[in-house]
Amino acid sequence: MNLITRWERKYGKYAIRNLMLYIIILYGVGFILNLVNPDFFPDYLSFSVPAILHGQVWRLVTFLIQPPSYDILYFLIAMYLYYMLGTQLERTWGSFRFNLYFILGVIGHILAGFLLCFLFRYDISLTTGYLNLSLFFAFAATYPDLQFLLMFVIPIKAKWLAVIEGLVYGYMIVTSLIAHDWATPILILLSLLNFIVFFLMTRNVRKTASQTARRTARRVVYQARVKEGQAASPQGGKTRHRCAVCGRTEADGADLEFRFCSKCEGSYEYCQDHLYTHQHVKNGQA
């Protein structure tokens, strides 16, 4: 069991559900704020290391309300895209892992801002551009064959869009190093810290697609079982959940919780006592 799994078991109940909805709302606040007073955000809310060191610590988080664009059409398109990416990742990973991924991205941005200030005397006004890019990279690695319509016309798979973006930023890093500009590579790499560390080092990218397909299949089976169980109460003899090890159902205790195992091949559900202790089923055999 890896570290993140242990954290999830211990702190998962504190995760913010549907986090991307709240992020979109913050972007909306930033967009409206710019319409009311364009100078308020850069003067009081944007990321600025000197201002933070002088006591304006709220800038460590308020820079997150800056929307990706102030053009209304592009803003609406971006909000739809980011909400779709974020909510789908949360459904696949779970709320805790998605929260952790997003927070790690924010920390990477903050570290980049402080390092650039201390090492190069740059007072960078950070945006959330790289943070949103990291969401797309994670989505492309999780759903590599999902197609997007480039310019609303050309179908292209997510993995190729991610490769193109990666080559662009790789080119920026190389050219900056050749020009002895260390600030740009630091900003890019630390801003994408969540993808580099969390995703590549803690998740098996090659197995993600198949695991996601199995989760989807199990979810369909689970929803079908729930609908079947709605016609009768547990006391009536029909139950929605049954542990594949001990056979207990929700009728055996109101405090029992049941989950499907992501490592078992097939639709196997377990109670909380056997979810982490059962022998995984492979090819129909335990």
| Res. 1 pLDDT band, cuts 50 70 90 | very low
Say if residue 39 is in the same domain as residue 130.
yes
Q: Which two tokens stand for residue 154?
A: 């050309």
- What SS3 state is found at 157? strand
- Domain annotation covers residue 27: yes
Q: Which single residue is written with the structure tokens 């200030």? A: 117
Say if residue 182 is in the same domain as residue 225.
no
Say if residue 196 is in the same domain as residue 75.
yes
Q: What is the Cα–Cα distance from 118 to 116, expressed in whole angstroms?
A: 6
Q: pLDDT value at position 21? A: 93
Does the pLDDT value for residue 7 go beyond 50?
yes
- Domain annotation covers residue 280: no
**Cβ-proximal residues to 268 (8 Å cutoff; 6+ apart), any chain:** 244, 260, 261, 281
| Res. 30 pLDDT band, cuts 50 70 90 | very high
- Domain annotation covers residue 58: yes
DSSP labels for 9-56?
HHHGGGSPTTHHHHHHHHHHHHHHHHHH-TTHIIIIIS--HHHHHTT-
Say if residue 121 is in the same domain as residue 89.
yes
- Domain annotation covers residue 10: yes
Question: Which is more confidently placed, 19 or 260?
Answer: 19
Does the pLDDT value for residue 231 go beyond 50?
no
Q: 33-72, pLDDT tens digit by residue?
A: 999 999 999 999 999 999 999 999 999 999 999 998 889 9
Say if residue 153 is in the same domain as residue 245.
no
- Domain annotation covers residue 278: no
Does the pLDDT value for residue 215 go beyond 60?
no
Say if residue 236 is in the same domain as residue 148.
no
| Res. 208 pLDDT band, cuts 50 70 90 | very low
User: Total domain count for the chain?
Assistant: 2
Average pLDDT over residues 126-133: 83
Q: pLDDT value at position 235? A: 47
Say if residue 171 is in the same domain as residue 242.
no
Say if residue 104 is in the same domain as residue 13.
yes
Say if residue 229 is in the same domain as residue 132.
no
Say if residue 159 is in the same domain as residue 228.
no
- Domain annotation covers residue 286: no
Q: 258-270, pLDDT tens digit by residue?
A: 888 877 877 788 8
Q: Which single residue is written with the structure tokens 């016309």? A: 153
Average pLDDT over residues 168-179: 90
Is the Cβ–Cβ distance between 141 and 205 less than 8 Å?
yes
Enumerate the β-bridge partners of residue 285: 282
Q: pLDDT value at position 233? A: 44
Does the pLDDT value for residue 222 go beyond 70?
no
Q: Which of 203, 219, 242 is the last residue of a domain?
A: 203
| 259 CB burial (10 A radius; 0-12, 13-18, 19+) | middle
| Res. 155 pLDDT band, cuts 50 70 90 | confident
Q: Which two tokens stand for residue 189?
A: 């790499």
| Res. 239 pLDDT band, cuts 50 70 90 | low
Q: pLDDT value at position 212? A: 47
Say if residue 61 is in the same domain as residue 131.
yes
Q: Which of 148, 176, 203 is the last residue of a domain?
A: 203
- Domain annotation covers residue 260: yes
Q: 75-125, pLDDT tens digit by residue?
A: 998 999 899 999 988 888 888 889 989 998 899 889 988 988 888 888 777
Q: What is the Cα–Cα distance from 64 to 156, expressed in whole angstroms?
A: 30
**Average model confidence (pLDDT) for the chain?**
80
- Which CATH number does the domain housing residue 181 bear? 1.20.1540.10
Say if residue 99 is in the same domain as residue 218.
no
Q: Which two tokens stand for residue 249?
A: 């159902």
Q: Which of 153, 180, 203 is the last residue of a domain?
A: 203
Q: Which two tokens stand for residue 237?
A: 């003899």
Q: What is the Cα–Cα distance from 60 to 74, expressed in whole angstroms?
A: 26
Residues of the domain holding 41: 3-203
Q: Which single residue is written with the structure tokens 């991924």? A: 101
- Domain annotation covers residue 231: yes
Q: pLDDT value at position 8? A: 80
